[in-house]
Amino acid sequence: MRTSSPNELMMRLDRRASPPLRVQLEQQLRDGIRNGSLAPGMALPSTRALAAELAVSRGLVVEAYAQLGAEGYLVTRPGGATRISEAAAGGPAARSRAELPRAPRYDFRPGAPDVSLFPARAWLASVRRGLARAPHARFDYGDPRGAPELRVALAEYLGRVRGVVASPDSLVVTSGLAQGLVILTRALVARGAGSVGVEDPGSAPLWQQVAGAGLSIVPVPVDAGGVQVDRLGDLAAIVLTPAHQFPTGVVLAPDRRAGLLDWAARRGAVIVEDDYDAEYRYDRPPVGAMQGLDPRNVVYGGSVSKTLAPALRLGWLVVPDRLALDVAGQKAADDLGTPIVDQLALADFIARGELDRHLRASRLEYRRRRDAVVDALARRVPEARVGGIAAGLHVAVYLPEGTDESRVLEAARARDVGVFGLSEHRTGPGPPALLLGYGRIPVPAIDPGIRALSGAIDAAWAE
Ligand SMILES: Cc1ncc(COP(=O)(O)O)c(C=O)c1O
């Protein structure tokens, strides 16, 4: 893809305006990426060329590129141009599903459950029952935190399944975990927070949501034990995925859990526990949520996006007392509440044990798929190291040093294999690695899919 000229970016900096020039430049680039006028994959002008065009120092442009890199809007490969991230808002990930190209033959996209397993009949029965039993008052503007029926059912379910300490009053029902993170961010900003730690590697869409809602993100490195607690310093909050780190899949080590809780308690900092896919743990029962160990300093967030279907857009936050009013206020300010019919259906679905039943069946199916992926990788790509197999719906596949990750992705696409690279989820360089989801791919397609992927890896080396 060609490089844009400084002129084409149409950046206009206003020296009389109050935001500093660097902030103006960042905002204009961010807006351009979000509204699609700066296309995913496009190479930006060099820092020197853009600085000359805008008559600012080169350091200012370097800083702006670095900030947007940390937020996941830009990616820089060593020795290469800075480009708009493929995962950036306005890019393929944010476009409507209807616009997306057809699914590849071997669909290894991470973070996607098998929506064909959605228990539509049982859900329909829960919609009927939920509606039939609801008092008239439920159809009015209600408590922005959500229907009492659902908050009662969730408090019991999360306590039993995830060891979360929740009461109906500490729960806020949200439109997916995504909205939960946005309203929580706004509540933290309103209380004076300026920045938040995020995992690096981490979820690039999550970085964008948090940054878009007003907090600057500070990448905190992740290693084999999870996020490095000794790097938290004086941050006021950190968002992390302890049960199955996204994207590496590592489980937060017990000493790190203890260290994090200690850090938060000493500093009065907030730990935001993103429990996006923790119900899927294969080698033993899921490790309890961190929130259960210190409900005063941990905000817990989850959703049905991985267990039932992402399109339901149903999630929740369990909020410590000191943040409860602010978060409820932000939920009210955002949308006055989550659609009631879906809430009543989920309350009934949980209360009747349908969610447990669905999880038992789907966990078995995903375990079979995970085993097939791990087995096929061991036979067909023995030089790779596979990480993150204990839980969730994807594994991380580390390729031998020197492998060109982007070439592998290109060669895989040419073979109709849908895989993603780990570098989209890092702020700096790192070892070449792929994310291989098994939520969407049935067992019989896994071995042929990995065979095709192995061909793609060989082809990338041969180029
Ligand atoms: C790590 C992580 N956190 C949060 C989310 C948000 O999920 P949702 O808004 O669908 O609940 C996702 C979605 O894929 C995710 O991967």
Three-state SS for 318? strand
pLDDT digits (tens, 9 = 90+) for 27-56: 888 888 887 778 888 889 999 999 998 999
Residue nearest (by alpha carbon) to ligand 1 atom 7 = 177
> Mind giving me the DSSP string for 29-85?
HHHHHHTTSS-TTPBPPPHHHHHHHHTS-HHHHHHHHHHHHHTTSEEE-TTS-EEE-
Ligand 1 atom index nearest CA of 175 = 9
199 CB-near residues (< 8 Å, 6+ apart): 219, 220, 222, 227, 239, 240, 241, 245, 246
For ligand 1, atom 2, the nearest C-alpha belongs to: 276
The rounded distance, in Å, linking the Cα atoms of 311 and 299 is 24
* CB crowding 366-401: b at 16 or more within 10 Å, else e: beebbebbbebbeebbeebebbbbbbbbbbbbbbee
Give all strands of the β-sheet with 420-421 in edge-to-edge order: 385-387, 394-398, 433-437, 420-421
Residue 231 burial by Cβ neighbours in a 10 Å radius (0-12, 13-18, 19+):
middle
* CB proximity list for 168: less than 8 A, separation 6 or greater: 148, 151, 152, 154, 155
Q: Which atom of ligand 1 is nearest to the CA of 112?
A: 14
* Structural contact between residues 47 and 68, judged by C-beta atoms closer than 8 angstroms: no
Q: Calculate how far, in angstroms, residue 205's C-alpha sits from the geometric centre of ligand 1.
A: 8
Is the minimum distance from the CB of 177 to ligand 1 under 6 angstroms? yes
Q: What is the pLDDT of residue 198?
A: 97
- In order along its 463 residues, the chain shows pLDDT tens digits of 566 777 777 788 888 887 889 888 988 888 888 877 788 888 899 999 999 989 999 999 998 998 888 777 888 776 778 888 877 755 444 444 455 567 899 999 998 999 999 999 999 999 999 999 999 999 999 999 999 999 999 999 999 999 999 999 999 999 999 999 999 999 999 999 999 999 999 999 999 999 999 999 999 999 999 999 999 988 999 999 999 999 999 999 999 999 999 999 999 999 999 999 989 999 877 789 999 999 999 999 999 999 999 999 999 999 999 999 999 999 999 999 999 999 999 999 999 999 999 999 999 999 999 999 999 999 999 999 999 999 999 999 999 999 999 999 999 999 999 999 999 999 999 999 999 999 999 999 999 999 999 999 999 988 7
Compute the distance between CA of residue 341 and CA of residue 370 in angstroms, rounded to an integer: 35
Q: CB 1: neighbour CB atoms within 10 A?
A: 11
With a 6 Å cutoff on the Cβ, whether 199 touches ligand 1 is no
The continuous run of DSSP H or E covering 359 comes out as helix 354-380
Report the alpha-carbon angle 30-36-38, nearest 5. 65
Ligand 1: does its nearest atom lie under 6 Å from the Cβ of 433? Answer: no
435 phi and psi angles, rounded to 5 deg: -105, 125
Tell me how far apart the alpha carbons of residues 138 and 187 are, in angstroms, rounded to a whole number: 26
| Shortest-distance atom of ligand 1 to CA 274 | 3
Q: Calculate how far, in angstroms, residue 332's C-alpha sits from the geometric centre of ligand 1.
A: 21
- Pairwise CA distance, residues 33 & 95, whole Å: 12
Q: Tell how far the Cα of 158 is from the centroid of ligand 1, in angstroms.
A: 17
DSSP assignments along 256-317, one per residue: HHHHHHHHHHHHT-EEEEE-TTTT-B-SSSPPPPGGGG-TTTEEEEEESTTTT-GGG--EEE
The single-letter code of the amino acid at 143 is: D
Closest by alpha carbon to 195, among 241, 233, 166? 233
pLDDT at 2: 60
